[in-house]
Amino acid sequence: MLSGALEVMLGFMGEFDLIETFFKRPPRHAVLGVGDDCALLAVKSGQQLAISSDMLVEGRHFLSTANPLHLGHKALAVNLSDLAACGALPKAFLLSLALPEVVPQWLSEFSKGLWALADLHQCDLVGGDTTRGPLNICITVLGEVPAQQALLRHGAQVGDDIYVSGHLGDARLALEVFRGTLSVPQSVFEAARLRMDKPTPRVELGLALRGLAHAAIDISDGLLGDLQHILKASAVGAEVDTQQVLSTMACAQNSGLHQDDLLRLTLAGGDDYELVFTAPENQRKAIANASLSSNTPVTRIGKITASPQLTLLDNEGQPLRHTFDSFDHFKTP
């Protein structure tokens, strides 16, 4: 882009000063990082590149008042979660930013949140784009996975166990409290809000599941909706034990909410960034070891079935009637 024109548009700090100040660092893995027309990455033989993009839009994914430190974390976390779901090792990412104006304090906090998570996973920021516009953060991640070892949606087999990582329902709990549709004690809200703002991408678990899990996906739109993607791609069905799903709750556990609300939060919540995956029964011990080695709780919540529907079971093992729907940007208000 034309630097002169943009420098005027962006005020005292120009586009390139901004990139130099907040987003340029020597890369660890990349052959060439920020500063040229392209970044350069070397790909090891026998490895495949796993690539994914996720966008965060103000007013849609976050409020204008969102803490920029958390936003920097979350923008990268939701992308790393996609790599985790594929069992890929994060290597590099691109950051495309539209900013209404240059606020150095905001950028400083945003980049702090971003770098902290990038450093944790040794993931290089190698390029991107910066423009003026309504606040919009788009990250593209690149990871590495040995050929034929990526965890995908289509591999679930009849008889597989179904597992989820970590804790479900917290992010949606915080959102509903924000919206005023649920109310919980302040301490529960604060904890849930932190889970919404600072999700933990389950990268280590994804890596540990290579060669073990038959199918995997990360939960961005709600457990049921995302599990349905596995079922559809694998042409199978599932039985899910709702009591096991409820047992994964963290903040909502002691919130005093009605069982129906808890079911809705955990089954159809969204924004959890946990992994749901399937593995054969004879790998239970190996899955427990993967959970231990990755320091990530894992809960077995059901079974893959031949009949194609998804059945929820109540605490007596009986089918539960429900109308839960997953989050859809074009259907959900």
Does residue 125 belong to the site contacting ligand ADP (CB under 6 A)? yes
Region binding ligand ADP by CB under 6 A among candidate stretches 33-41, 65-73, 107-115, 229-237: 33-41
- Classify the phi-psi angles of 317: left when phi > 0, otherwise alpha if psi is within -120 to 50, otherwise beta: left
3-state secondary structure of 99: strand
- Binds ligand ADP (CB under 6 A): choice among 129, 190, 281, 328: 129
Nearer to ligand ADP, 25 or 198 (CB): 25
Helices (H) and strands (E) in the chain, counts: 11, 10
Pairing between β-strand 124-132 and β-strand 89-99 as defined by DSSP bridges: parallel
Among 4, 12, 26, 36, binds ligand ADP (CB under 6 A): 36
Please check whether residue 137 is in contact with residue 77, taking contact to mean a CB–CB distance below 8 angstroms: no
CA R_g for the chain: 21
Looking only at the bridges linking them, the beta strands covering 124-132 and 215-218 are unpaired
Handedness of CA 325, 330, 331, 333 (dihedral sign): positive
Between 126 and 262, whose beta carbon lies closer to ligand ADP? 126
Nearest alpha-carbon partner for 116 in 127, 125, 103: 125
Question: What SS3 state is found at 257?
Answer: coil
93 binds, among ligand ADP, Mg ion, none (CB under 5 to 8 A by kind): none
How far from the centroid of its chain's Cα atoms is residue 270's Cα? 10
From the list ligand ADP, Mg ion, none, partner contacted by residue 316 (C-beta under 5 to 8 A by kind):
none
151 neighbors 216 (Cβ within 8 angstroms): yes
In the bound complex, what is the minimum distance in angstroms from residue 190's beta carbon to ligand ADP? 31
By CB under 6 A, the residues from 171 to 230 that bind ligand ADP are: none
In Å, how far are 105, 143, 165, 308 from 216, measured between CA atoms?
Answer: 39, 16, 11, 18
User: Would you count residue 37 as binding Mg ion (CB under 5 A)?
Assistant: yes
Does 36 bind Mg ion (CB under 5 A)? Our answer is no
Residue 92 in tokens: 């590099």
Query: Taking CB under 6 A as the rule, which mask of x and - marks residues 262-301 in contact with ligand ADP?
Result: ----------------------------------------
Task: Find the part of the chain contacting Mg ion (CB under 5 A) among 33-41, 123-131, 167-175, 197-205.
Answer: 33-41
| Residue of minimal Cβ distance to ligand ADP | 127
Can residue 260 be called a binding residue for ligand ADP (CB under 6 A)? no
Contact flag: residue 127 with ligand ADP (CB under 6 A): yes
Beta pairing class for 310-313 and 237-241: parallel
Of 32-40, 54-62, 177-185, 207-215, the window that binds ligand ADP (rule: CB under 6 A) is: 32-40
Nearer to Mg ion, 35 or 100 (CB): 35
Tokens (6 digits) for 221: 């739109």
Binds ligand ADP (CB under 6 A): choice among 10, 19, 107, 287: 19
- How many residues in the shown chain lie near ligand ADP by CB under 6 A? 14
Helices (H), 144-274: 170-179, 186-197, 203-208, 223-234, 242-246, 259-268
Q: Residue 192 binds what, of Mg ion, ligand ADP, none (CB under 5 to 8 Å, by partner type)?
A: none
Residue 320 CA to residue 34 CA, distance in Å, equals: 53
Out of 50, 97, 114, 298, point to the residue binding ligand ADP (CB under 6 A). Answer: 97
CB of 16 to ligand ADP, least distance (A): 7
Residues 52 to 81: which contact ligand ADP by CB under 6 A? none
Binding site residues, ligand ADP, CB under 6 A? 1, 19, 23, 34-37, 95, 97, 125, 127-130
Binding site residues, Mg ion, CB under 5 A? 37
